[in-house]
Amino acid sequence: MTAAPLPAGHTRPLPMSEATLQANVLEAARLGGWLYFHDNDSRRNRAGFLDNVFLHPETGRLLFVELKSATGRIRPEQQQWIDALHRGGHTVRVWRPEQWTDGTIARALVTERGAAA
């Protein structure tokens, strides 16, 4: 669950793609014992639904997550879902590569297993 290695001569990390972030997040969810849904091809779905839904089978915690690249923007249809989910009392997160790098995502997903014990 690490970012791609740096090419020779580079001193700062390369930007993490949304696809790499997605793979990392799903691996962290697996390690944390979460059930998850991610639609690999959402082109036929109604616009706006978030990228991932996670459910922890031991705690019952439900988490909706939209992943974005460092510069990606939330579309109005996505914001409508986010607002409605918040009004319903659900936990919603928008995660970017920065949250992977600083450990926010690992704390949210991997430590859930310890909380359930």
Is 13 within the bounds of a domain?
A: no
Domain count across the chain: 1
Is 104 within the bounds of a domain?
A: yes
CB 67 within 8 A of CB 93: no
CA angle 102, 107, 110 (to 5 degrees): 125
Tokens representing 88 are: 């319903």
Give the pLDDT band (50/70/90) at residue 43: confident
- For 69, the domain range is 18-40+47-116
Q: What is the pLDDT of residue 117?
A: 43
Is 8 within the bounds of a domain?
A: no
Average pLDDT over residues 80-96: 97
d(C-alpha 103, C-alpha 106), whole Å: 5
What single letter denotes the amino acid at residue 16? M
> Model-level pTM greater than 0.95?
no
Strand order in the sheet with 35-38: 35-38, 52-55, 62-67, 91-95
CATH, residue 65: 3.40.1350.10
| 11: pLDDT strictly greater than 70 | no
